[in-house]
Amino acid sequence: MSNVNTFARLSNLVQGNVLTNPSAFPTVSGGAVRARVGIRADVSAGIFDGLPFRVRGVWKAVPGTAGNYTASVYWDAGTNTDLTTLTDEKIFLTSGAIALGTQAASTFVLSAVLVWDSSAKRLAGVNDPQSFHTIATPAVLFSGASAVTATNSPVATSVASVSAIQFIATGLFGTTHASNAATLVELALEQI
């Protein structure tokens, strides 16, 4: 939930039955342009160089049938605007494929603490212990090759300016069903 330290936020974006490839949440329901959250020029004023901040994503997935859902946050390189081209983006957080079963809905929260170095033009971070989900018996708990761990910290290079610090959230259902739906409840950036 947003608080006094939140300086950028997206909320309540809807996504339908996404299969095969991760898809970014659109700016409007049914749209084809990805929603981004980034550091605005009016709040940057040099306060982000070398200082930690948090990126947090909250998803609500409603499966139409038993299956998996994967929630992720990427650093957005700004070169693509469509929902599925993620060639230049760098994954910073992922839930991995979480078995939803036949629950009415499941909520995911992923969070990381990041630092941007203007001299090295690098954005790096580690996962935050606040990450969790509401699955009663998860098959996987935030693991996998792309997961953020202390030994596998994500790093984005060529982040030349504070305006290049922007993120997108993606979702992916593992089983097709017309009733599959996901909501990006929040994708927020916070000073810490």
Please tell me the distance from the alpha carbon of residue 71 to that of residue 98, in angstroms, as a whole number: 9
pLDDT < 70 positions in the chain: 1-2, 17-20, 41-46, 102-103, 129-155
pLDDT at 17: 67
In the chain, what is the straight-line distance between the N-terminal and C-terminal CA atoms, in Å?
Answer: 14
* Residue 89: predicted pLDDT: 86
Integer Cα distance of 131 and 117 in angstroms = 25
Nearest Cα neighbor of 187 from 170, 160, 173, 169 is: 169
Residue range 57-92, pLDDT digits in tens: 998 888 888 788 888 999 888 888 888 888 888 888
162 by DSSP, 3-state: which? helix
Give me the amino acid identity at 112.
A
> What are the CA-CA distances from residue 31 to residues 20, 28, 123 (Å)?
19, 5, 29
What is the C-alpha R_g of the chain? 16
